[in-house]
Structure 1
């Protein structure tokens, strides 16, 4: 079935980590740790805080913290402005943490891909698993 022109798509990736939720939360919310697995940033854990993520490719994402449930959920806008409007992206990324017997289940959802953005959607589908692998490596080597 072809998506409606007004529908947006979302990417969901879940992974279990053998680390407690508090440790995963720190990696999602402390700027020096975010830089190690995601991108350079000027993040602050405060609703309404505007920040930037600086990609290795030279692009900059404009973000704003939208929601925080301490230790459990973090949501922020993930916006990229491009010279070509087809590549403009207005999306929301939500991280949800749940304790499990072996550590933490992390669910990442990026919502807001328009049907005319197959490249951005495909990039997120392949990118988030790679980023979560980098997050796991960071968690494994830090206290």
Structure 2
């Protein structure tokens, strides 16, 4: 069954914001990665040192069921507009469920990243639905 979490996007201050959230909620980051740690993609322009040090993804479990997640925007992704800097993030139990939810919710919407296998070992995709809501769908492949 799918779980739903909030995904936030910041203009370069994700690390500061999440250190604050961690001080309030407690716990530890389950993941924190920077753009410079990503594999090189020939379709993307090289990142400056400043861009490379921005947060690509951070996860902070805040309860048994809920994970607060975020990333920084980059020159490639564009400036964040506050009020639209949140997405609904769905993690599914199966690839079939991920495909079903992605295809159904993105109908008549705008796909910004097709649901496909990623370098971090998941199937992941993003879109804005026909009502203007930003969504992310993720299925983590079982670890061998």
Same fold (TM over 0.5): no
TM-score (norm 2): 0.30
TM-score (norm 1): 0.30
Comparing both chains, which one has the higher relative contact order based on Cα–Cα distances under 8 Å and sequence gaps of 6 or more?
A: 1
Question: Which structure has the highest helix share of the two?
Answer: 1
